Every structure is written in C-alpha cells, then in structure tokens.
Amino acid sequence: MPPQFPSIQSFFQSTKSSSPPQKTIKSTSAQVGDGFTTEEVNAILSPSVNQFWTPPKEYEELEISALQTGPRCVTFMGRVVNLFDQTSSSKMAQAAKGCIKLMVRDDTGATMVKLWYANMQYQLRLGHLVTIWTPHISNSEAGSLALPTAPLYTSIFPERDRCCHIMIHENSDDGILCKTPLGYRDGHELTGLMTLNNFIQGGYDVSDSRILVCVKSIGARKKLNNKKGTTLELVNVIVFDDTAEATLTLWGSAVNSVSPWQVSSTVLLISNPGWRIERRAWISLTANTYVDLDPSMTDAEWLRAFAQRLTKRDHINPPFPEGAFDIEAAKTSPIRVLYTLAEVDEFIRAAPGETFTGYLSTIIMELNIMSLHRRNMLMCTECCGVPLYANATTATCKQCERPVPLSTNPRLLGPLVDETATTAAGKLILSPTAWAQLLGRSPEQLVNSSAEVLRYLEARLLFLRVTVCFAWVGGAEGMGRLCVWGVRV
C-alpha cells in the first residue's frame, strides 16, 4: 500500500550530492507531493478574479468621454466591443504572459484597456459588461493605437497590482446599460449604416461603414498551428441580413464570444469591419472594428423579426405552436367544420390574417418510415442553424456540443389527398399528440422499434383514410403551414 503522506525525506530527494542513496525512496513509485495542497496549487495555476476586491482608496466614477490622461484613480463601466490578443510580448511587463486588448465603450465614448495577465485566464466575450478600476489613464502611443474614436488607453495588471481591477458583470448585467450604439439617436439613421449587399458591392470603401447582421449559423471551433508553433483558435460564423450573407471569422480570445449567440436571434452591429471579398464575403475584426451585440435600435429589432420569420418558414422541423390557438375549444366545440383541402386553400387566400380550426378527411399517399429509419433520420431538429438527424430522441449538436431533444421528422408523413387537392410532403406541423395518434406509439417506442415492426406499421398506414384535426394560424404568429393537433385513424 503506498503511503498516504510523503515522508519528510521525499521533499529533499532532488539533491543528489547529499547522503548515500536511500533505497526506500527509490522503490516507492507512488507520487509524492510537493507539500502544497490541491487548493493552493489550483489558486496559482487557475486563479479566478477576486470577487471580494475592495478599492484601496477612493475611485472617481466617470463616463468614458470624461476620462483624462494622467495619474488619477478612476472607475468606469462599458461593454467590450472588440478584443484581441497582443502578439508580441513587451519588455515592460516581464512578469506577464500576455495581454488582451479590450475596446470598451459606454454610451458616451470608447477607450482601450490593455489587460495583462500571468496565470489568469479571462473568459471575456464581445458584449460583456465590465467595470474597470485604474490609477492611470494614458494617451495612445503615437502611431500604434491612434483611433480617433478612442484616443486614450489604460493598462491594468490586476494579478500583480492591487490598485487596478476588472469586474466582468456576468450575473449583474440586465442587458440595458450601454446598449445604444455610439452616435445613434432614436428615429435617425445611424451614419454609415448600409445593407450587407451594399457593403459587398463597394460600400467597404466608405470610412465609418457599418453593417447590421443576424447570426445564421455558427461553425465548429478550429485550431490552427502557425509557423512559430503556437496554436490559434478560430470560429466561422455565417451572418446575414435581408440582402446578402457573409462569413464572420473570429480569432483567439474573441472565439469565446460565440457561445451565448443564438441563431436567428443574435444581431451584431459591426462598425468598420475588416473584409475580403471573394466569391463570398469574409468579414473580420480589425483594431478599428467595433461590434455591438444586440444593440438597442429599431433596425436591429426589425432584422431579428425578419430572421425569425425566415426560420419559421425554413426550419426543417418547426415546433408545434402551442398556445397560438385554443386546442381545448376546438376539441369541445359543437360546431365541427369538415373542409376539403381546396376549401382550406380558398379560405386562407381570402383572409390571410384569420385563425381557424376544422377537420379534413384525407388518404395517406406515402410514408417514409422505412427509408428514414435506414438513413438514421427518424427524428430531427435544428441547432446552431444546422440540421440534426438521428434514430434517437436526443442527439449532440456538433457545433455547440450540447445535447438537443429531437422530435419526429415531418417528412415521415408523405402527401395527404382528398377529392380536391393534396398537401406537400413533410409540410404539415403535427403536435406530439397527433404523431402518437397516427403512429400509435411514442417517439421512444418508434425509435426503438425493429425494422420488422416499422415495415408492418408503414404497410398498415399506407392508403388509410384518416381524419385530420387542423388549425390555421394567420397573421404574424402564423408560419404558413397547417398545424395538426389530432389525427383520427
């Protein structure tokens, strides 16, 4: 049995010149400690920001535009609109392993914060709300950082200097502070704002060009080795607006930013983007770029609503719109209207905003249970803008590596016909109840059924006459598809 606690001699093992070799120590292959507890080692190797930091003296709270150069204890708050790793290590701070340059802005202005670190790994993201305490503000070094919009900078090293500190507001950010883009006034166009298509067609030449884009899909993180032997991480994000689409590449520290981003919901206002226009447009962050995450401006709301409408239309397996209409009322109503498919079509065209429910008597013309089972596609959903298929009720997204619940693939049900018309395959949105009524089993039972059972199920349902209980949701809530809340076999 190896000793739980190392003997005192084991700490002096490395000095070879001393006393004759001690056989007992050599024979123990067990790992001897170095006298430090795990907590002590962790505190050095992976330190965390000291949440209990208290300012050693008075710090004046200022807006960024009010900052002035010189030694003075000030504190300010803002959002991270750009961050990049400093490539060359400066001789000035030998103790530091590196530096992250943050561009921080509030509603009045922007400033650069050089955040030096030794062992700390700051998990900073674009859009993070941060508070900085610093005893000194400097003028930008001539030629290097001279940004007209952010003329000043401060250099902080919280691990070594007790006078400065950074606080990342992870839980205390209500998403309201510092959300208005610089220079934006309600009801006025933001200067330099153009559509993505205009930007690609030559708008990139305009100084102060800005684009407002929504996230379409997030690629997997990749690691590249450069010639110096260091590893660089990057992630590609497809972004779009109503006119075009482009790929935004983030590098290094900025890569972490994408983890909370949501497809078809996260909107980015990118000012002065870096660009490369080839067959497709590549957008990147340069030192001059500002990225405002979900800015508070009317155009951003419009773009998000536009993206949501597109998703509803294009989603491979849109969720059943629970709550968009009253299923209970439809179930218990004494008036039950039996429509033909042609009549439904006529009604919708006549009154597109109307929400109504009814019944259809149709025949199932095709089922794809067997073919989807063979292709491992019985269940599906979308995550990070990428379709995800499996013969299972959950799967792991390859992009965000999170487990995602899957629901029955709508393409399982082929066209339904009646005497007047037909539905397109896979376009109906069935509720979980409707699927259970049609297939006579739960999703778990479906994916666990043997091929033999599925073949029998398919043969039994094919050319069967079924009554479909449907609802049409009109207006902005609607998704342009029939929603099926029940199937009577």
Which residue number, 50 or 262, has a Cβ lying nearer to Zn ion? 262
Which residue number, 406 or 471, has a Cβ lying nearer to Zn ion? 406
Minimal distance, residue 379 CB to Zn ion, in Å? 16
Minimal distance, residue 235 CB to Zn ion, in Å? 13
User: Count residues contacting Zn ion (CB under 5 A)?
Assistant: 5
Minimal distance, residue 221 CB to Zn ion, in Å? 12
Instruction: Report the distance separating Cα 106 and Cα 62, nearest Å.
Output: 11
Which residue number, 401 or 477, has a Cβ lying nearer to Zn ion? 401
Which of 134, 154, 399, 437 is in the footprint of Zn ion by CB under 5 A?
399
Which residue number, 102 or 380, has a Cβ lying nearer to Zn ion? 380
**Residues contacting 15, CB < 8 A, separation 6+:** none
Contact 413, 367 (CB under 8 A): yes
Query: Which residue stretch of 14-22, 321-329, 397-405, 426-434 sits at the interface with Zn ion (rule: CB under 5 A)?
Result: 397-405
Interaction between residue 400 and Zn ion (CB under 5 A): yes
- Report the DSSP pairing between strands 403-405 and 222-225: unpaired
Q: Residue 148 corresponds to which tokens in the numbers above?
A: 């007209």
Instruction: Report the distance separating Cα 247 and Cα 281, nearest Å.
Output: 6
* Terminal C-alpha separation, the chain: 69
Site string for Zn ion, 266-305 (x = CB under 5 A): ----------------------------------------
Instruction: Show the CA angle centred on residue 101, arms to residues 274 and 199, nearest 5°.
Output: 15
Site string for Zn ion, 419-448 (x = CB under 5 A): ------------------------------
Interaction between residue 307 and Zn ion (CB under 5 A): no
Query: Which residue stretch of 4-12, 188-196, 292-300, 398-406 sits at the interface with Zn ion (rule: CB under 5 A)?
Result: 398-406
Which residue number, 357 or 399, has a Cβ lying nearer to Zn ion? 399
Query: Which residue stretch of 219-227, 337-345, 393-401, 442-450 sits at the interface with Zn ion (rule: CB under 5 A)?
Result: 393-401
Minimal distance, residue 400 CB to Zn ion, in Å? 3
Minimal distance, residue 346 CB to Zn ion, in Å? 41
Identify the CA nearest to 110 among candidates 68, 63, 149. 149
Which residue number, 82 or 381, has a Cβ lying nearer to Zn ion? 381
Which residue number, 100 or 383, has a Cβ lying nearer to Zn ion? 383
**Residues contacting 254, CB < 8 A, separation 6+:** 82, 83, 84, 126, 285
Instruction: Report the distance separating Cα 391 and Cα 413, nearest Å.
Output: 16
Minimal distance, residue 227 CB to Zn ion, in Å? 33
Phi, psi torsion values for 125, nearest 5 degrees = -130, 155
Which residue number, 377 or 397, has a Cβ lying nearer to Zn ion? 397
Which residue number, 262 or 298, has a Cβ lying nearer to Zn ion? 262
Minimal distance, residue 405 CB to Zn ion, in Å? 12
Minimal distance, residue 397 CB to Zn ion, in Å? 3
Site string for Zn ion, 369-388 (x = CB under 5 A): --------------xx----
Minimal distance, residue 83 CB to Zn ion, in Å? 23
Minimal distance, residue 98 CB to Zn ion, in Å? 30
Which residue number, 215 or 482, has a Cβ lying nearer to Zn ion? 215
Which residue number, 41 or 220, has a Cβ lying nearer to Zn ion? 220
Instruction: Report the distance separating Cα 221 and Cα 217, nearest Å.
Output: 13
Minimal distance, residue 203 CB to Zn ion, in Å? 32
Which of 397, 421, 425, 462 is in the footprint of Zn ion by CB under 5 A?
397
Interaction between residue 264 and Zn ion (CB under 5 A): no
Burial class (CB in 10 A: 0-12, 13-18, 19+), 441: middle
Q: Which residue is nearest to Zn ion (CB)?
A: 397
| Site residues for Zn ion per CB under 5 A | 383-384, 397, 399-400
